[in-house]
C-alpha cells in the first residue's frame, strides 16, 4: 500500500477536538472489553489523518462520528451497545438502529455516534440485515479492508485508536457513493478532498524516491500524481471481490461521468471542470493498473 508508518502521532499544532477525544476515551475500553475490533471512519477519520496528523487544512465540518465495529454476532453488537449506554455517556436513538447519542458533559452538546457492524453478520453479498425485522439492509462492502488497512493514531496519554487509512477511507467512500449517488453530494466532495490531498498527506517523499514514474507522467504535478497513487493504493488494500466491484464502477463511462460532474458541482471552483476530470482519470488509472 503506502508508506504510512503503523503508528501516527497528533501534531501539537493541530490538536484533535477535545469532544472527539472524550468520545474515544469512553468507547475504547468498552469495545476492547467486548472483544470488538473497531476503527474510526467517515469525516472524523479524514480529519484525524489529514488535519491532525499531517497538518493540512480542515475540510467539510461535521459533528457525527462513525465507527466500523467487527462482531461475530448480533448479540455481541447488542451487548456492546448496552454497555455503552450503561456508562451514562451514551443514549439510544430510536430513529436509527446504528446510532447512539453521546452527551458531552464538558460542553453540553450531543454528538451522533454511528456504529456500523460487520464481519460475522455480513452476508455473501456484503450486506447486513438489521434485526429483528431484517427489513433494513445496509451495504458494508469495504469494511473488512478498511479495518485491515487501518492505521494506529496516538491520541495522547495512553489512548491509541485504529483509524481508517486514506486508501481504506476512499474505498468506503466509493462504495457509499455507488449506493447513494443520487441522494447526496457529500461523497463526491469528500472524494475530491482525498484525491487532491493524498500527495501532501505523507506521500511526497515516496513520490520522489519510489514513484518517479508517476511524477514524470504528470510533468511533476503533485496532485495528479498523488491521485493516481491513491488509486493504486486503494486497489492494493482490496480483496479480489471488492477490487472487481470498484473496477467495474470506474470502467463505467456513465458512472464515471456522474461522479466527475458531482465532484465539479461540489467543488469551490466549479470553473475548474477540466482539472477535476483529469484528477478523476488519474485516480481511475491507478485503480485499473495491472488489471
The predicted structure's pLDDT at residue 5: 45
Mean pLDDT of 146-173: 97
| pLDDT band (50, 70, 90) for residue 63 | confident
Of 1-5, 100-104, 148-152, 263-267, the range with the lowest mean pLDDT is: 1-5
Query: 251-260 pLDDT, tens per residue?
Result: 999 999 999 9
| pLDDT band (50, 70, 90) for residue 269 | low
For residues 174 and 242, the answer to whether their CB atoms sit within 8 Å is no
Mean pLDDT of 150-176: 96
Query: 2-35 pLDDT, tens per residue?
Result: 444 468 999 999 999 999 999 999 999 999 999 9
Query: 32-57 pLDDT, tens per residue?
Result: 999 999 999 999 999 999 999 999 99
- % the chain with pLDDT above 90: 86
Given a cut of 70, is residue 1 above it in pLDDT?
Answer: no
| pLDDT band (50, 70, 90) for residue 58 | confident
* Domains of the chain as residue ranges with CATH: 7-164 (3.30.460.10), 172-288 (no CATH)
Crossing angle for the helix pair 240-251 and 273-288, to the nearest 10 degrees:
140
| CA atoms of 156 and 59, how far apart (whole Å) | 23
Query: 181-191 pLDDT, tens per residue?
Result: 666 668 999 99
DSSP 4-65: --SEEE--TTSPPPHHHHHHHHHHHHHHHHTT--EEEEHHHHHHIIIIIIT-PPP-S----E
The predicted structure's pLDDT at residue 271: 65
Mean pLDDT of 163-187: 88
* pTM exceeds 0.85, yes or no: yes
Amino acid at each position: 500500500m503506502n508508506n504510512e508508518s503503523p503508528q501516527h502521532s497528533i501534531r501539537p499544532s493541530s490538536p484533535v477536538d477535545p469532544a472527539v477525544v472524550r468520545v474515544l476515551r469512553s468507547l475504547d475500553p468498552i469495545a476492547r472489553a467486548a472483544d470488538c475490533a473497531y476503527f474510526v471512519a467517515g469525516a472524523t477519520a479524514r480529519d484525524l489523518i489529514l488535519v491532525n496528523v499531517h497538518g493540512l487544512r480542515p475540510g467539510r465540518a461535521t459533528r457525527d462520528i462513525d465507527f466500523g465495529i467487527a462482531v461475530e454476532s448480533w448479540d455481541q453488537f447488542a451487548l456492546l451497545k448496552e454497555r455503552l449506554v450503561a456508562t451514562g455517556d451514551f443514549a439510544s436513538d430510536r430513529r436509527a438502529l446504528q446510532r447512539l447519542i453521546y452527551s458531552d458533559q464538558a460542553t453540553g452538546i450531543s454528538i451522533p455516534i454511528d456504529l456500523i457492524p460487520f464481519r460475522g453478520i455480513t452476508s455473501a453479498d456484503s450486506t447486513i440485515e438489521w434485526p429483528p425485522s431484517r427489513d433494513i439492509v445496509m451495504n458494508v462492502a469495504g469494511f473488512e479492508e478498511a479495518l485491515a488497512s487501518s492505521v494506529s493514531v496516538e491520541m495522547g496519554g495512553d489512548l491509541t485508536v485504529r483509524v481508517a487509512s486514506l486508501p481504506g477511507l476512499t474505498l468506503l467512500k466509493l462504495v457509499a457513493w455507488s449506493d447513494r449517488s443520487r441522494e447526496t453530494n457529500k461523497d463526491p466532495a469528500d472524494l475530491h478532498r482525498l484525491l487532491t490531498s493524498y500527495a501532501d498527506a505523507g506521500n511526497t517523499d515516496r513520490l520522489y524516491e519510489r514513484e518517479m514514474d508517476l511524477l514524470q507522467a504528470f510533468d511533476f504535478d503533485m496532485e495528479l500524481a498523488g491521485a493516481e497513487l491513491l488509486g493504486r493504493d486503494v486497489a492494493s488494500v482490496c480483496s479480489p471481490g471488492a477490487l472487481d466491484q470498484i473496477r467495474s464502477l470506474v470502467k463505467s463511462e456513465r458512472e464515471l461521468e456522474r461522479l466527475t460532474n458531482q465532484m465539479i458541482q461540489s467543488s469551490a471552483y466549479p470553473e475548474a471542470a477540466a482539472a477535476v476530470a483529469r484528477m478523476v482519470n488519474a485516480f481511475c488509472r491507478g485503480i485499473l493498473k495491472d488489471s
